[in-house]
Structure 1
Amino acid sequence: MRRGVGRLAAAAMVALLAAGAVTGCGDEEPPVRGVAAELPTEAPVEEPAAEDPVDAPADAPSEEPPGVAAMGGRPSPTASASAKPRPKPSRTSTAPLARPKPPTETRVPPAPKPPASGCKPSYKGTKASQSQVKKALTDAAARTYWPTSAPDIRIPSTLMKATAWQESGWQSNIYACDTGVGLMQVMPATAEWMNQRFEQSYDIDDYRDNAYLGGTYLAWLTKYIGDMYFESDYRLDAALCTSELNSCLLNAVISAYNFGHAAVAREGKPLTIPNPQYVYNVRELMTGCECLAF
């Protein structure tokens, strides 16, 4: 947003025009950095940019979370250092392809376990405060998870917060019967896969790393489904959704976070939303969650 600073008086302007030298002055505020959001790992293997460190993965998060930094994790390149300009989507329609393209990501996470019946969740350790959780989720939403191959992928802060509220009620120390852990209810097998896939070492029991793991999974799903059905248009924008649940990438990513990628994006078949109530819940929370006021 730009703002002109100061106005010239009419008499002064006339004098300047008469002198033949009109001078404009004004200050501009620095551009506001957009919120980024993606998976806390790296993207598919591709040719590294010339300026990328030789020993750094092709796609790594823009910053290292506190939990990983404490373990001695190596810093990752920033998006500005490795991002390559991508042309804006040239599609005339935002609807998903009826016949998807083959997936570009061949390494996929394990399928989620079905919830156990008649089992109550357990709690372990100290519960993070609302302010701590808010910061962790906000930090996860502010990352660039695919700085080389898809730097324009952004996970909205409202999506991070709403998903965490739907999954755990922002309880960082909750352990579900289906093995889901913490804020984002990340499955241990999924966390292990993401750490291996993106060469990270996130601690699923640390609420900050748990937020990054959840963000990483959302970003991976965004790229996987976006490449197959939306021709690499990665916008998670509610304005692109219609009354049909399978009309937009946002709904597909929300659905897949709960049911797994394979239940939503299937090779050669239309986009499917097998869990409409879950999608409705998260979409409602993105605008009406009490957690947004914390």
Structure 2
Amino acid sequence: MRRGVGRWATAAVAAVLAATVVTGCGDGDGPTREVAVELPSEAPVDAPADGPADLPSDEPPAVAAMGGKPSAKPSPSASSKPKPKPTRTTTGPLAKPKPPTETQVPPPPPKPPASGCQPSYRGTQATRSQVKSALSDAAARTYWPTSAPDIKIPLALMKATAWQESGWQSNIVACDGGIGLMQVMPATADWMNQRFGQSYDIDAYRDNAYLGGTYLAWLTKYIGDMYFESDYRLDASLCTSELNSCLLNAVIAAYNYGHGAVAREGEPLAIPNPQYVRNVRALMTECVCLSY
């Protein structure tokens, strides 16, 4: 998550499915350094029937009605209906963006890690079935039930991002400080918890998945309001060969490099990390993790 995050890179789709690496990102001016990580040789055993021990306890109500669990009933706080979206004549981004609607933004990216640093591990590795459950739950949430209930994070995007970032290793800690499945930066986790009235534990694999999903949802709202006139569809069919043509690619890029490198006031939409975007897009359709 964010520029400088430890992430799993691939040279091609075939290489993605065969092996993964954690990388320490650079400063955005050049290619990032890659550090190989040896994956476990055996697949972890499925979760016990009684579920993992680190399920989050009752969660505090979210500020701005964000981050709550899915519910069949409308949120009691959702007293106002969402404003109707303008009719768009194109699915591409605005050449001149609108001012951002969110004035509270995440902290800046971290500094690049020291050369030659190797990622570390702490705690117990979650099983594959536990990870799948956590990512599925995070994708099923309605993050903005009041102002943007149509924001949905595709399950394929959650799975692919987690695979790119960590190879689904819940207990990995990157050299730049990225933690867990979604490689959440501690400062970003603190910001999101404070901003939205949550208390997610970055070291608990389920909460880590929720933090990653929350950040993807925040980026969808932020960039969607600026460049896509509140059209929040993360739909690959809206993308063309130009990487800056759709919201999906922009959100993927911003998850890795930070919102400020992608969505800039008065400037066209930018994709500063094209290889990362291509990797995640490929994983969304061809990753072995999709069958887990």
- Letter of the structure 1 residue corresponding to residue 92 of structure 2: A
Query: What SS does the aligned partner of 1:212 have?
Result: helix
Query: What SS does the aligned partner of 1:257 have?
Result: helix
Summarize deviations over 1:216-248 as a string: whole Å, max 9, x none: 000000000000000000000000000000000
Deviation at 1:84, TM superposition (A): 2.6
- Letter of the structure 2 residue corresponding to residue 107 of structure 1: Q
Aligned to 1:62: 68
1:164-243 counterparts in 2 under 5 A? 164-243=162-241
Aligned to 1:96: 93
Aligned to 1:7: none
Query: Whole-Å Cα distance in 2 between the matches of residues 228 and 178 of structure 1?
Result: 29
Match of 1:107 among 94, 104, 109: 104
Summarize deviations over 1:149-201 as a string: whole Å, max 9, x none: 11110000000000000000000000000100000000000000000000100
Aligned to 1:48: none
Residue segments in structure 1 that go unaligned for 5+ positions in a row: 1-54, 65-75
1:151-170 counterparts in 2 under 5 A? 151-170=149-168
Query: Whole-Å Cα distance in 2 between the matches of residues 228 and 150 of structure 1?
Result: 14
Deviation at 1:114, TM superposition (A): 4.1
Deviation at 1:78, TM superposition (A): 5.6
Query: In the alignment, is the contact (CA less than 8 A) between 1:60 and 1:77 conserved in 2?
Result: no
Greater relative CO, 1 or 2 (CA 8 Å, sep 6+): 2
Query: Whole-Å Cα distance in 1 between the matches of residues 257 and 123 of structure 2?
Result: 28
- Letter of the structure 2 residue corresponding to residue 190 of structure 1: T
TM-score normalized with structure 2 length: 0.75
Deviation at 1:111, TM superposition (A): 1.6
Q: Which has the higher Rg, Structure 1 or Structure 2?
A: 1
Query: Whole-Å Cα distance in 1 between the matches of residues 245 and 107 of structure 2?
Result: 26
Q: 1:121 to 1:79 in 2, by over 3 A?
A: farther
Deviation at 1:112, TM superposition (A): 1.9
Q: 2:127 matched to 1:129?
A: yes
Deviation at 1:80, TM superposition (A): 5.4
- Letter of the structure 2 residue corresponding to residue 265 of structure 1: A
Query: In the alignment, is the contact (CA less than 8 A) between 1:62 and 1:78 conserved in 2?
Result: no
Match of 2:291 among 265, 289, 293: 293
TM-score normalized with structure 1 length: 0.75
Residue segments in structure 2 that go unaligned for 5+ positions in a row: 1-60
Summarize deviations over 1:117-152 as a string: whole Å, max 9, x none: 210000001000000000000000000111111111
- Letter of the structure 1 residue corresponding to residue 67 of structure 2: P
Query: What SS does the aligned partner of 1:263 have?
Result: helix
Query: Whole-Å Cα distance in 2 between the matches of residues 265 and 272 of structure 1?
Result: 7
Query: In the alignment, is the contact (CA less than 8 A) between 2:189 and 2:211 conserved in 1?
Result: yes
Deviation at 1:88, TM superposition (A): 5.2
Query: In the alignment, is the contact (CA less than 8 A) between 2:216 and 2:255 conserved in 1?
Result: yes
- Letter of the structure 1 residue corresponding to residue 110 of structure 2: K
Q: 2:283 matched to 1:277?
A: no
Aligned to 1:267: 265
Over the aligned positions, Cα root-mean-square deviation in angstroms equals 1.8
Summarize deviations over 1:82-121 as a string: whole Å, max 9, x none: 2735535510100100000000000000122244121000
Query: Whole-Å Cα distance in 2 between the matches of residues 215 and 244 of structure 1?
Result: 25
Query: What SS does the aligned partner of 2:240 have?
Result: coil
- Letter of the structure 1 residue corresponding to residue 252 of structure 2: I
Query: In the alignment, is the contact (CA less than 8 A) between 1:264 and 1:272 conserved in 2?
Result: yes
Query: Whole-Å Cα distance in 2 between the matches of residues 86 and 150 of structure 1?
Result: 9
Query: In the alignment, is the contact (CA less than 8 A) between 2:67 and 2:196 conserved in 1?
Result: no
Query: Whole-Å Cα distance in 2 between the matches of residues 221 and 259 of structure 1?
Result: 12
Percent of residue pairs identical = 77
